[in-house]
Amino acid sequence: MLLSHLLHLQGIDSVVLELRSREDVETTVRAGVLEDGTATLLKETGVGERMEKEGAVHHGIELRFGGGGRRIDMTGLTGGRTITVYGQHEVVKDLYRTRLEAGGQIIFEAAAVSLHNLDISKPKIRFRRGAELDLDARAVRFQGGTEEEEITCDFVAGCDGFFGVSRLSIPEDIRREYTRTYPFGWFGILVEGPPSSEELIYALHERGFSLVSTRSPEIQRLYFQCDPNDKTENWPDDRIWEELRTRLATRDGWTLQEGNIFQKDIVGMRSFVTEPMQHGRLFLAGDAAHIVPPTGAKGMNLAVADVRVLSRALTEFYSTGQTILLDAYSETCLRRVWNAQRFSWWMTSMLHRFHDGDDYQYRLQKAELDYVTSSRAAATSLAENYVGLPLHETTGATSAG
């Protein structure tokens, strides 16, 4: 949706195939920590007005361990940069409205089933309506008939996630994939109630990781590390609150604000990268090309960075006929992707108990947290990565800066 919006601003037409219904997307509460550059891009391109009114600007985060919390002053350490907490589903609402008001073409509940002619100037997308994602089967399912429709276009942007057809349309002898699966998951809850903290809290406890986040002044999001094969029905509300209170307890008597839990889920943790991110006239973006554990809050922001690079490259092509930026797309994006993979892996490793970890490793983790929160250099490194590295710092000499 963001790519379609950016191209529209340059007078370039596009068609979006949206797997789910508009109502489904807009009512599914999703995470939303926006890097400084992401929030700036939304404002500069005319879709950030509601975000500025309703989003919460955060200037720091708290790292909690050993019964106490220490604040990372992101704004002070990065020359004034911030993060904005504003749900991904809210961003998409704003993009839907903007694109539809501008006459944009969005086909809801539709998914590509195959891509063709990617090596020539007019590739084709064959798609079907009545699509839905079956997470249990890890596949796209279709309701109704089997009729396929076709779109002929100049370029294909594969923004269809890990289970879409785009990534697999890059030949196996060209495509390389890198995966790491973590031995834990996140048990997440949505809560009706006031926030427990003005800023996010990342906590390490001998029982595992926990996170205090927020979605709005009335809705809070909390997580704790769990067995990825656990079941939500094993966790009644009282047990959840007891676990969170234990992991988040401090010596100064900090109080966790409790409320009505209206959603529970378990999220697996993995890292994934595919290379290259382009083949012929196909360009992968977002989860189709890379996945990170949520500890570093990079997933949506990496997708935004991808389409920002791609929109500039397509704009150059349509305005000058040159393909310099298009040819460099994969190299440009992957440098940032691997930086985000490194940061997300580091945050995850520092804050989670591993199944084969012992007391020695736990003491090392606490020592790492002590160093990060007491060294200005280490804290600055965390802050710079968390608010988001500027685009020009992760692009090559031939790329858009």
pLDDT digits (tens, 9 = 90+) for 77-88: 999 999 999 989
Evaluate whether 8 touches 99 at the Cβ level (below 8 Å): yes
User: In the predicted model, what is the mean pLDDT of residues 336-347?
Assistant: 97
The 10 Å CB-count burial string (b at 16+, else e) for 159-173 is bbbebbbbbebbeee
Domain membership flag for residue 393:
no
* Active site positions, annotated: 58, 202, 294, 298, 386
Domain membership flag for residue 247:
no
Evaluate whether 63 touches 70 at the Cβ level (below 8 Å): yes
HSE-CB for 196 with a 13 A CA cutoff: 23
Domain membership flag for residue 91:
yes
What CATH number has the domain bearing residue 155? 3.50.50.60
pLDDT band at 37 (very low <50, low <70, confident <90, very high): very high
Q: What are phi and psi for residue 107, nearest 5 degrees?
A: -105, 105
Number of structural domains (the chain) is 1
Which residues on adjacent β-strands are paired with residue 83?
A: 58
| Residues 249-277: tens digit of each pLDDT | 999 989 999 999 999 999 999 999 999 99
pLDDT band at 394 (very low <50, low <70, confident <90, very high): very low
Domain membership flag for residue 50:
yes
Domain membership flag for residue 314:
yes
Domain membership flag for residue 375:
no
Domain membership flag for residue 62:
no
Torsion of CA 4, 9, 10, 14, to 10 degrees: 20
Burial class (CB within 10 angstroms; exposed 0-12, middle 13-18, buried 19+) of 75: middle
What six digits make up the tokens of 378?
């280490």
| Residues 175-215: tens digit of each pLDDT | 999 999 999 999 999 999 999 999 999 999 999 999 999 87
3-class secondary-structure state, position 25 = helix
Higher pLDDT, 218 or 310: 310
Evaluate whether 128 touches 110 at the Cβ level (below 8 Å): yes
Domain membership flag for residue 242:
no
In one letter, which amino acid is 57?
V
Q: Which domain does 23 fall in, by range? A: 2-56+86-179+270-353
pLDDT band at 393 (very low <50, low <70, confident <90, very high): very low
Evaluate whether 201 touches 40 at the Cβ level (below 8 Å): no
